[in-house]
Amino acid sequence: MSQIADPDRAILWDPNHTEHDMIETRVLGFWLYLLSDAMIVAALFATYLVLDHRMNTAGGPTASMIVHPVAAFGVTVLLFSGMLAYGLAMAALKAGDRRRVLVWIAVAFILGLGFLVVEGHEFADLVQAGITPERSGFLSAFFTLVLYHGVHLMFGLLWLAVMAVQVWRQGLTAQVVYRLLNLKMFWFFQGFIWIFVFSFVYLTGTLHVH
């Protein structure tokens, strides 16, 4: 037991009990969501690192045959520009400039969309060449890991669009602001995950030929 209070002088009722900061509680809740998401991502990375070996390709392609780190670098620049754009939207939010918030959200949306279009083309090419998730254990892990990130970004785009409408229609109310802050965490988290995808899938994929 930590510290035993003096029962004669103890405060029994929280003097600040009516205060609850909506933004703080919502942001805390979103942190918990992100942590659980991070655990799934960690499991996917562990799976990928185990299956990224010639033994698990069942005669199909290895990572070095399907990843293009230079193309991936291009989309990385797109994605991180999208992160920067949202960061600038947050700076505009701090300044209370609704119009600039909208402009930077739009820029972030376009850059994120560009990332998804390029990635979509890449995967469409793979599928057309007969390289599908059910081909081998390695490809299952590859598709799951990279597309898990892609689907998250897709939901991020949807969220950006909804927030643009809400900022435009409702202004920077507490409800809108906490959602913008949560979206910030979500959006930057996808960039953070992409650093690892780029390093462990695209860079290491070309580095060693198993």
Partner 1 sequence: MMLAMPSIDYTVHNSVFLVAHFHTMLNVVGFACLGGINFWFPKVFGFKLDEGLGKRAFWFFSAGTALVFGCMYVLGFMGMTRRLDYIPYVSWRPLLVGEEVGIFLFCVASYYLFKQLYVSVRDRAQNRVMSNDPWGTARSLEWLTHTPVPFYNFAVRPQINSRDEWAWRRQHGLDGARPDHYEDIHLPSNSVVPALLGAFAFAFGFGFVWRMYWLVAVSLAGMIAAIIAKSFHEDSGHTIPGAMVERLERGFRDVVSEVAPIGDLVGGWARFAGPREAPSGRVRRESGSGARVLAMRLVGRKREDTR
Binding site for partner 1 (CB under 8 A): 1-2, 4-5, 7, 10-15, 17-18, 20, 158, 162, 166, 170, 173, 175, 179
Q: Which is nearer to partner 1, 57 or 182 (CB)?
A: 182
Give the Cα separation of 156 and 101 in Å (integer): 16
Min CB(37)–partner 1 separation in Å: 16
Min CB(207)–partner 1 separation in Å: 37
CB 109 within 8 A of CB 157: yes
Q: Which is nearer to partner 1, 56 or 144 (CB)?
A: 144
Give the Cα separation of 170 and 12 in Å (integer): 41
Q: Which is nearer to partner 1, 3 or 128 (CB)?
A: 3
User: What does the DSSP assignment read for 59-115?
Assistant: TS--HHHH--HHHHHHHHHHHHHHHHHHHHHHHHHHHT-HHHHHHHHHHHHHHHHHH
Tell me the three state secondary structure of residue 188: helix
Q: Which is nearer to partner 1, 43 or 158 (CB)?
A: 158
Min CB(32)–partner 1 separation in Å: 17
Min CB(162)–partner 1 separation in Å: 6
- Helices 22-51/174-197 angle, 10° precision: 20
Min CB(155)–partner 1 separation in Å: 8
Q: Which is nearer to partner 1, 32 or 70 (CB)?
A: 32
